[in-house]
Amino acid sequence: MVALQQQQEGVPSGTEKTTHFGFQTISESKKADKVAEVFSSVASSYDRMNDVLSAGIHRLWKDHFVRSLNPGRRPGGSPMSILDVAGGTGDIAFRMLDHATRINHDTETRITCADINADMLREGERRSLVDTPYGGTDRISFLVQDAETLDAIPDNSVDLYTISFGIRNVTNIPAALRSAHRVLKPGGVFACLEFSKVRPAMLDAIYQRYSFSVIPMLGQLVAGDRDSYQYLVESIKMFPSQEQFAKMVEDAGFMLPGKGFEELTFGVASVWKGVKPLH
Ligand SMILES: C[S@@+](CC[C@H](N)C(=O)[O-])C[C@H]1O[C@@H](n2cnc3c(N)ncnc32)[C@H](O)[C@@H]1O
């Protein structure tokens, strides 16, 4: 439980650099710990809550995200090295391997599920052993990593970098994008699935009402944790617009196909893609 009292701890002194944690302004140095508290708190209920809060729609978005990336060996090509950052409990990683195996008949493509939070990764590893054929094999590994630095991942080593519902929790988003660019091979693909701005405005008004009243309440009822779910809705509201985030991806050195993003379900979520240039 992320108690409100604890949230006061991050209040900045006059000279420290600040950032937002939901609607609060806190010291930059405190954000990672506070995000970690949220995800440690929700780790065991995370998958159930995703289904409850989105009526299962997050599964359709994730299926679409993975299908659109078509992971796996191409005819005459090599197996892929995939890095799923902020991979949490493995939702994207399992889908990637399922797609590579079933659609591209590739049993060699591997994925690293990287996350800053060991509790989320433990839940992912448990699921990989119980629910998938990949647990305990060399096709999947779980690694504690900060998206901002990715210090265990060599330069130019990754074919496909994904981050799903993770980037808005990162303190320094430009640093995370620069690290994505660093670890990708030239020609490698960056892909991000994240909540975004709902359009048109009338639908947004309904969505805001749902998110700020129903989601924290369900968080309390189903997971016994109102504060963590309050943070989740506030962090969605604070995330840049589709166009602003596309610009940030471009500024990190990626080439964007078309306008750089695709809106899903009236913009409740969007997918951004970029390619690391060959030269
Ligand atoms: C909402 S969950 C998303 C999990 C999964 N990708 C999915 O789509 O279901 C956000 C994840 O981001 C992780 N995270 C937050 N800040 C991070 C950082 N700086 N580096 C890596 N992971 C981070 C959290 O620990 C959490 O597991």
The CATH number covering residue 136 comes to: 3.40.50.150
Q: Exposure pattern of 3-18 as b/e (b: 16+ CB <10 Å)?
A: eeeebeebeeeeeeeb
Reduced to 3 states (helix: H, G, I; strand: E, B; else coil), residue 27 is strand
Query: Which among 150, 169, 229, 271 is the best mutation to test ligand 1's pocket, defined by most ligand atoms within 8 Å of the CB?
Result: 169
User: Would you say the CB of residue 170 lies under 6 angstroms from ligand 1?
Assistant: yes
C-alpha angle 8-89-212 in degrees, rounded to nearest 5: 45
CA 249 → CA 113, 164, 211, 245, distances in Å? 21, 15, 27, 6
Q: Measured between alpha carbons, how far is 10 from 27 in angstroms, rounded to an integer?
A: 6
pLDDT at 49: 85
- Per run of 10 residues, the mean pLDDT along the chain (length 279 residues) is 40 75 90 88 85 90 98 94 97 98 97 96 97 98 98 98 97 97 98 96 93 92 89 94 98 97 97 96
Report whether 273 contacts 257 (CB < 8 A). yes
pLDDT at 14: 65
Global pTM? 0.93
pLDDT at 184: 98
User: Structurally, how many domains does the chain consist of?
Assistant: 1
pLDDT at 53: 84
pLDDT at 16: 79
pLDDT at 145: 97
Protein residue with its CA nearest to atom 25 in ligand 1: 117
pLDDT at 51: 87
User: Would you say the CB of residue 269 lies under 6 angstroms from ligand 1?
Assistant: no
Q: Measured between alpha carbons, how far is 169 from 120 in angstroms, rounded to an integer?
A: 14
Token match 């989320």: residue?
Answer: 120
Residue 221 lies in domain? 4-275
